[in-house]
Amino acid sequence: MKYLTSLAGLLLLCVSLSISAASKPQLELASGSALAVDLNTNEVLFSSNPDQVLPIASVSKLMTGLVVLDAKLPLDEYLTVDVSQAAIMKNVVSRVRLGSQLKRRELLALALMSSENRAATTLAHHYPGGYKAFIAAMNTKAKALGMNSSHFVEPTGLSTSNVSSANDLLLLLREARKHPLLGELSSASNRSVTFRKPKYSLAFYNTNRLVNKKNWDIELTKTGYTDEAGHCLVMLTRMAKRDVAFVVLDAFGKFTHLADANRLKVWLETGKVSPVPKEAKEYKRQRQQARASAN
């Protein structure tokens, strides 16, 4: 009798667990590709098209930062703002004046935090061997990290030929985590810098609004946007008491990539699911359909 009672209890528990698992809401994100991984356990917390190769826009600047730090160049050296070797920069508007000077550390901060294109391009121009050597170093670094779906042709991400995948960008985030300066510079909410020759000062702000939110603990971040790439975001952050690497690519709308980050955080911490707007769903469907047709 005791055996039958125990067996019945076990069966009831199994049924209850099955119902609970089945009733747990499934997370949906608006971005075309997404990946979230626990950095300590390597558990994949969420995944959607993680191997899809896409333009990554200014997320490219995270690789730019890695290459600069790998070269161990003096961070307090003043560099002359120069974009002469980058044809893609010809008509790019910037508050940073060509020919003025700023320390390498400050240029790196502006490239990472505020996604300043002239800053990123100047860093490449002042690399040992010059601009072309810098681009070669970006691809060499990608290969060394096992980022086999990634390719770079310039340091800013303005080119659609700068491509990667969410899985590759996870590798990039893991490597970037070894350089605390990248996290420090990229996650600052704002920065004021003073140029010389001529002397002038400018204030810059982080392109990721989440760094200003008290409920977010962000270790490192980089955003990106072009029409072709959509809105992109990579982060090292804390969610549900976990150290998480988070990647979203090709998001619709100015704030969709940030909304996806919030959706994931809420889901991990509470189990609740926030709906994806129908406009974002339609954008995602059309983009996926267009890429399928192109292939």
- The verdict on whether 115 is a catalytic residue reads yes
pLDDT at position 16 over 80: no
Residue range 266-270: mean pLDDT, rounded: 95
| Binding-site residue ranges for substrate | 222
Whether pLDDT at 18 is above 50:
no
pLDDT tens across 109-140, in order?
999 999 999 999 999 999 999 999 999 999 99
Average pLDDT over residues 56-84: 99
The residue among 295 and 232 whose pLDDT is bigger is 232
Q: Is residue 19 part of a domain?
A: no
pLDDT at 4 over 80: no
pLDDT of residue 3: 45
Q: What is the DSSP string of 127-186?
A: STT-HHHHHHHHHHHHHHTT-TT-B-SSSSS-STT-EE-HHHHHHHHHHHTT-HHHHHHH
Task: Report pLDDT for 19.
Answer: 38
In a domain, 14, yes or no: no
Q: What is the pLDDT of residue 23?
A: 52
Q: Look up 33 and say whether it is catalytic.
A: no
Let me know: does 12 contact 228? Beta carbons within 8 Å.
no
Instruction: Give the up-direction half-sphere exposure of residue 23: CA atoms within 13 A in the CB hemisphere.
Output: 6
8 Å CB contact between 245 and 252: no
Positions at the binding site: 222
- Band (21; pLDDT cuts 50, 70, 90): very low
Which tokens hold the place of 126?
């002042």
Q: Angle at the Cα of 25 (from 244 to 44), degrees rounded to 5?
A: 25
At residue 291, the pLDDT reads: 79
> Is residue 6 one of the residues assigned to a domain?
no
Looking at per-residue pLDDT, the higher value among 282 and 33 belongs to: 33
Report the run of H or E that residue 258 belongs to, with start and end. helix 256-270
CATH number at residue 276: 3.40.710.10
Q: Give mean pLDDT, residues 86-90.
A: 97
Three-state secondary-structure class, residue 214: coil
| Chain position carrying tokens 């061997």 | 129
What distance in Å separates the CA atoms of residue 125 and residue 133, rounded to the nearest whole number?
9
Report, as an integer, the average pLDDT of 233-255: 95
Choosing from 115, 165, 186, 187, which is the catalytic residue?
A: 115
Residue 5: band (very low, low, confident or very high) from pLDDT cuts 50, 70, 90: very low
pLDDT of residue 248: 98
**Which domain does 216 fall in, by range?**
29-294
Q: Is residue 1 part of a domain?
A: no
- 10 Å Cβ neighbour count for 266? 16
How far apart (Å, rounded) are the C-alpha atoms in residues 180 and 182? Answer: 5
Buried b (16+ CB within 10 A) or exposed e, 99-121: ebbbbbbbbbbbbbbbbbbbbbb
**Structure token digits, residue 195:** 């140029």
Indicate whether 262 pLDDT > 50. yes
Which H or E run includes 251? strand 242-251
DSSP assignment of 31-95, as one string?
A: SSEEEEEETTT--EEEEESTT--EE-GGGHHHHHHHHHHHTT--TT-EEE---TT-GGGTT---S
Query: What is residue 24's predicted lDDT score, i.e. its pLDDT?
Result: 56
Residue 7: predicted pLDDT: 46
More confidently predicted of 178 and 253? 178
Confidence of residue 10 (pLDDT cuts 50, 70, 90): very low
279 occurs within a structural domain: yes
The single residue of 61, 103, 141, 265 carrying the catalytic annotation is: 61
When divided into structural domains, the chain yields a total of 1
Residue 274 lies in a domain: yes
- Mean pLDDT across the chain, nearest whole number? 92
Active site residue 61: yes
DSSP summary character for residue 211 = G
CA angle 227, 160, 150 (to 5 degrees): 130
Q: Is residue 255 part of a domain?
A: yes
Query: Which residues, 6+ apart, have CB-to-CB distance to 209 below 8 Å?
Result: 255, 258
Burial class (CB in 10 A: 0-12, 13-18, 19+), 43: exposed
Active-site annotation holder among 31, 58, 164, 165: 58
Pairing of strands 230-239, 218-226: antiparallel
User: Would you say residue 141 lies in a domain?
Assistant: yes
